[in-house]
Amino acid sequence: MNSTLSRRERKKRETRRRLMETALRLFREHGYDATTVEEITEAADDAKGTFFNYFETKEAVLPALAGLRLQQLEESLLPEHGAPASPVARIKLALRLVAEDSLSDPALTRRLFAAGMRHQGMRPVHALMKLLSEQVRQAQAAGEISADLDPIYVGGMLRALFFQQVIVYHHGYRPAPLPETLDTMVNLLLDGIAGPNWRQFS
């Protein structure tokens, strides 16, 4: 019985993720406003009613998508997904991946960000700082960042500088491609807070 329930739950999770991934793809291809629930379920090969088993409205899928993007970001930083061994290099990778969303589809990124901000416990700014702070802790353990600093504070600094760079980039100040600018930003910050090993590994 337990195995049956487990399979059922696994199937539900797979269906929910398939609907989210399909919705994200269609939102990117056609725009959020132009995409209908019917198009999402048809592309996902599900009945229309299946969508409403998981999401009350089309708008309700947005905070779930914000959570999905965070999950995908976390997965991209795992060794089994080819992430670099250096925690500082993973910090740079994380910032570049988040920036890619804002570059490829700024309008959808704003919608996802706003939707996440309206849901307690899923706020993107907090989630990003938590992710960065964990990478800072690992960088401290590896000697890439000074161990006497509060990792949450450093993660907050990285997050704040990231959003500042994205904002000025979208307002037209573009001295270099955004990924390159973000790498430079991290390097400049780490020149002030680095441990003895960061230049060696990243």
CATH superfamily of 1-58: Homeodomain-like (1.10.10.60)
Residues 6+ apart with CB under 8 A from 117: 123, 124, 125
User: Which one of 10-14, 85-89, 101-105, 124-128 scores highest in mean pLDDT?
Assistant: 85-89
Q: Which of 92, 109, 93 is nearest to 101 (CA)?
A: 109
Q: Is the pLDDT of residue 64 over 50?
A: yes
Q: What pLDDT score was predicted for residue 1?
A: 47
Round to whole Å and give the CA distance between 175 and 4: 57
Among 1-15, 113-127, 168-182, 186-200, the least confident range? 113-127
* Structure tokens belonging to residue 123: 């706020």
Across the range 15-30, mean pLDDT stands at 93
Residue at 40: amino acid letter: I
* Structure tokens belonging to residue 152: 């949450």
Across the range 171-182, mean pLDDT stands at 85
Tell me the CATH architecture of domain 61-201.
Orthogonal Bundle (1.10)
Q: Give the count of beta carbons closer than 10 Å to the beta carbon of residue 128.
A: 21
Instruction: For the chain, give the mean pLDDT.
Output: 86
Q: What is the largest CA-CA distance in the chain?
A: 61
Say what percent of the chain tops pLDDT 90: 47
Across the range 74-89, mean pLDDT stands at 93
Q: What pLDDT score was predicted for residue 128?
A: 86
Q: Where are the domains of the chain?
A: 1-58, 61-201
Q: What pLDDT score was predicted for residue 32?
A: 92
